[in-house]
Structure formats: structure tokens, C-alpha cells
Amino acid sequence: MINQLVQKIQKTKAPICVGLDPMLNYIPSHIIQKAFAEYGETLEGAAEAVWQYNKEIVDHTYDLIPSVKPQIAMYEQFGIEGLKAYAKTVEYCQQKGLIVIGDVKRGDIGSTSSAYAVGHLGNVKVGSNICTGFNTEFITVNPYLGTDGVKPFVDVCNEQDKGIFVLVKTSNPSSGEFQDKLIDGRPLYELVAEKVVEWGDASMDGAYSNVGAVVGATYPEMSKILRKLMPRTYFLVPGYGAQGGTAQDLKHCFNEDGLGAIVNSSRGIIAAYKQEKYSKFGPEHFAEASRQAVIDMIADINSVL
Amino acid sequence: MINQLVQKIQKTKAPICVGLDPMLNYIPSHIIQKAFAEYGETLEGAAEAVWQYNKEIVDHTYDLIPSVKPQIAMYEQFGIEGLKAYAKTVEYCQQKGLIVIGDVKRGDIGSTSSAYAVGHLGNVKVGSNICTGFNTEFITVNPYLGTDGVKPFVDVCNEQDKGIFVLVKTSNPSSGEFQDKLIDGRPLYELVAEKVVEWGDASMDGAYSNVGAVVGATYPEMSKILRKLMPRTYFLVPGYGAQGGTAQDLKHCFNEDGLGAIVNSSRGIIAAYKQEKYSKFGPEHFAEASRQAVIDMIADINSVL
């Protein structure tokens, strides 16, 4: 699966994914009002607004990008109705030829991780039938429980040609609280990185492994070291744009061939129309603003590669 | 909320929760067959089997216990239909007077954790309406992202009188891989424990904090130290029974007043009829086997308090 992502990145010359993390206050009022008129100020109404918003952004950007990353929490907050909008968004993006990275950050003890893995990446057996729950190409995984919590995800990746990105060094301000703690002189995230390499060793798919890593754009010195520690691991890089990471900050996430990383931007793309820079588009043309923001982001990142 | 849990534990004299983690292979064939006859070998059929199985177990145990802990992964594996069975199970347990601990192990960066928090513990605003997604009393939270990933859950607990249990030392075999690593001579889980105390300091509800900790029954020496480090933190203790933890192993999780911990058993209760010890009940009377297993578990744990 990582090889498919690499090919799409090469074809689009766009090592980016658009983070479909629709907060209600990002969504232009004409979409909100229409959804509420139809379904009321209910979970269903919120889910409809989210779906229509996503759809328009995807329609205006899918030809430029290889991938999207919906953040499931933004859907889960609206319960079942929200998760229906998540599933619908995933399916629509796939129909448009996009690779979907479900940002779910799941992770548990062995048998439970297996259930998450088949639920999000694979197929679940029901009687003699093979069924699918949430069917994304990649998901993100939390490593705090160690190998037996991560291995079931890797197994499903190997069986079904899917992929995961394991949290190594996250982009948020307090990520260092535990992740940076020194163990025999080395930060915890480096130990996690070494495990990611080990977990992904038997999951090679072309030049890279189906077991990738989340490495935040906001800590450039650390990503430099992590790039060396994990030469065949693809990085999913959050933190660009709204969270403060610049193109200069994330150039070390890439290998010399210009591959090895895919950079996410959520708010910076999907709510671009709210920025001064794109205000000329106005809320009615929010998706055109998103398209322009994608074009600008691709140029910005390619300028440092 | 923790005070309500303590009162229910005192009333039932049962410091336990039943883990509603329904794997399809636990469910007796008469339930499976009925569900498949009605809905086919589909996600809907699986979800119906899960729901009927849960309902019968709850009907046979609710008067003995304070709490249940559904593991959301076991539902999520069946997609939207599975999650409907989760929501239905949560609601049914609450109608029966049980406190529900959603074992969701969520955790992300700030704004995303907020979405999970309102989705699982609180209310989400839709226009001028207040709606609820998954409405559990407690959830479990993963601390790997640090304070800004946990704080949004604590905020919702404080606003809505709900609670969380933060993963400190998990019960699985490889939990030590990262959690036990020494930092200035002390294991990571102790640092997490100190943070849990800090996070929960302003969330006191009676003698304990609404911010609790997950401490596995399978590591008794560690729970002894953790009990001292976190005197006012309630422990959610997985790993009893099927995972190998005994009553002796977990007595250090309790304070001297016999409070301070709630012990979970999943397979040992819900699939009790599969054990030699309870085989006389047979698959048809699986829920009576579960009731007997609950009675035995309560006696076993009380014998060491």
C-alpha cells in the first residue's frame, strides 16, 4: 500500500494530504443552514453539514493530491450520525481515487487491537461472509502498550496490503512531556522509532515499509535524527501551517530523493477561506479557496525539496 | 462521578466491573443463529447477536454489580452497525442503574481530544441545541501525547461530572517495553502516575478524583508503588482472571479502607459457560453461568480485602 501512495505522490508531485477535520465553526453558514433546514439542529444535521462541506472540498482538490486524512474524532463527536459521515467521506474519497489515512490513533492489548485492525483496515468475518466496517488504506496507531498492542495492526497490513503510521513524535506543544524523556541518554521517541523499524521490517512494499511513523513538523531537529534512524519508514507529518511548522522545518523529514514523507494540513486547507490571504474567495467559494491553498502548499513544500 | 461509583461499590460490596467485550466466538450458537436468521451473515447480524448476548448478561448480573466496561473495539470492528450495538448497550446498562466505563483509550492533540471528550462524555453543541453522541459516565484515555492531549478530557469531566481512567501501567505482556523504561532511575509509568495526580487535583469528588488510572492486575509489585504515589486516584484494574491476575495480585491496588480500585473481568464472566468450572450451565444458560462467575469473583476479591 505504501508503494501506491508513493506512486500517487510522484504522479501529483504533491507530498501532501488534506486533513478532513471538519469543526462546525469552519463550515460556511450557507452549508450549515441548509443542513439544519433539512435535518434540524441535530446530530443528523451536523453530520449532513460535515459531509456536504467535505464533499465540496474533495471535489475541488482531488485532482491535485494523492491522499486525505480524516480525523475520526471530529465525526465521533456526533455519535453514530457523525460516524456515518466519516464512512461516507472515506468511500467518496476512494471513488475519487484518493488514498485515505484514517487518523484514529487506536491502540490496545492484543485481541482488542486485532478488532480495531479488522474494523478499520481489513475485513471482519461474520459467519461465512467477509464484511467490512470502516475501510481505510492507512490508519494511525498509538504505541504506548508496546509490541503486542501494535503487532495485530501489522499483521492485518501484511495480509491485506494496508498500512499504518505509528505515533513516534507528535506535533503538539506537550508532546515532549513523555516522548522526550531520556532513557539511557536517549529520548523515548527514538526507542519507539527503533521499534517501528523492527515492526515494519517484514512489511516492505517497494522502497518503503507499510509501517510508517507520525513525526511532527514542529520539531525539526528531532525529525532530522528520526529520518536517519528510520531510513525506509514513511513519515506522516502533522503540524504544518496552522500549528506553526514551516516548509523549512519539515525538509529533514524527506530523504534525498524527495520521498519519505507526506505532510498534512487540515485547518490551513479546509478553512482557508477564513484566512486574510484567501478572503477574496468568500464563504460561498470556500472550496476554491481550499484549492488555491493546496496549490500554494504544494509549491511551498516543493521549494525546499 | 467517582463518588457515585464508590457509593455503588459500597452498596453492592462488589468492587468489580463486567467487561462487555463480545467476541463472536464467545456468543452461544443459538443467539448467533437467531440473529443471522433475521439479518443474515452481515454486520447487522453480528451487531444483533452482540446486543442480544450483552442484554442477557446484563439482565442476569446488573443487581450484583456497580458497573460495566464495554470495550468499544469489539463493536467498532463491525462498523456503524457495531457502534449502534455499543450505544444501545450503554443506554440499556444505564437504564439498569449501572455506571458505564467506555473502554475507548482515546487521546490526541488538544482540539481533537476535545472532540472525543464531548463525543463520549459530554454534550456537543449543534446550533443552539445540546446533543449527545456516546454518553458514558467514564472513559479510558491514552496519555502518550502529554498534558494538552489529556486536559480536554479533564475539562469535560469537571464541567459535566464525568470521569476518566488514564492508562498508567497496562496489563498486557509487552506493556513494559516503553512503560517500564527508566528515566532518572524511575520507570515511565511512575512519571505518568504523577501527572495523573496533577491532572486530577482539581477534580476531587468525595475522597477520590474523577481522574483515575488504569493499573494492570498482572504487575502486583508495581501496583503497590502506584497505590502510594496516587493515594486519591481510583484504579481501574484489568488483567484479573483470563489474563492471569489473581485476587492476591491485586490486593495492593486497594487502600486500607477497601476502596480505591475497581477490578474488571471480561472473558472470565461473559464467556464463563465455556470454562470447565461452569460447564454444567451449558450454552443455553450462559447468562446464569455469568451470574455465578460474578458471585465467585466478588467473593474471591473480598477474601483479600
pLDDT, one tens digit per residue, over B98-117 is: 999 999 999 999 999 999 99
Cβ contact B119–A76 (<8 Å) = yes
The yes-or-no verdict on residue A75 having pLDDT over 90 is yes
State mean pLDDT over B11-31: 97
pTM of the model: 0.97
Distances (CA, A) of A44 to A79, A87, B86: 9, 14, 18
Confidence of residue B245 (pLDDT cuts 50, 70, 90): confident
Q: Please give, rounded to a whole number of angstroms, the shortest distance from the CA of A11 to a CA of chain B.
A: 32
Q: Into how many domains does chain B fold?
A: 1
What contacts A198, CB < 8 A, 6 or more positions away?
none
The yes-or-no verdict on residue B178 having pLDDT over 90 is yes
> C-alpha angle B107/A78/B54, rounded to 5°?
80
Q: Which of B112, B128, B130, B136 to mutate to test the interface with A (most CBs of A within 10 A)?
A: B112
| pLDDT of amino acid B242 | 77
> Tens digit of pLDDT for each residue in B85-101?
999 999 999 999 999 99
> Tens digit of pLDDT for each residue in A253-275?
999 989 999 999 999 999 999 99
A217: number of Cβ within 10 Å: 28
Full domain range(s) for residue A260: 2-302
What CATH code is carried by the domain that includes residue A108? Answer: 3.20.20.70
> C-alpha angle A23/A270/A57, rounded to 5°?
110
Helices (H) and strands (E) in chain B, counts: 13, 13
- Asked about A105 being catalytic, the answer comes back as yes
The yes-or-no verdict on residue A63 having pLDDT over 80 is yes
Q: Please give, rounded to a whole number of angstroms, the shortest distance from the CA of B39 to a CA of chain A.
A: 11
Greater confidence (A239 vs B79) lies with B79
Q: Which residues of A touch B86 (CB under 8 A)?
A: none
State mean pLDDT over B253-270: 96
Cβ contact B106–A105 (<8 Å) = yes
Residue identified by cell 528510520 is A230
| pLDDT of amino acid B192 | 97
| pLDDT of amino acid A242 | 77
ipTM of this complex prediction, to 2 decimal places: 0.97
| pLDDT of amino acid A244 | 84
Q: What mean pLDDT value characterizes chain B?
A: 96
> Tens digit of pLDDT for each residue in A116-136?
999 999 899 999 999 999 999
**What is the per-residue burial (b if ≥16 Cβ within 10 Å, else e) of A1-12?**
bbebbbebbeee
- H helices of chain A, where? 2-12, 29-39, 43-61, 73-76, 79-95, 110-120, 147-160, 176-179, 188-200, 220-229, 247-250, 267-270, 286-302
- Cα A15 → chain centroid: 12
One-character DSSP codes across B160-179 = HT-EEEEEEE-SSGGGHHHH
| Cross-chain CB nearest to B109 (options A131, A170, A191) | A170
> Tens digit of pLDDT for each residue in A180-227?
999 999 999 999 999 999 999 999 999 999 999 999 989 989 999 999
Minimum CA–CA partner of B121 in chain A: A77
- CA–CA separation, A109 vs A117, rounded Å? 12
> Tens digit of pLDDT for each residue in B190-244?
999 999 999 999 999 999 999 999 999 899 899 999 999 999 999 999 989 877 8
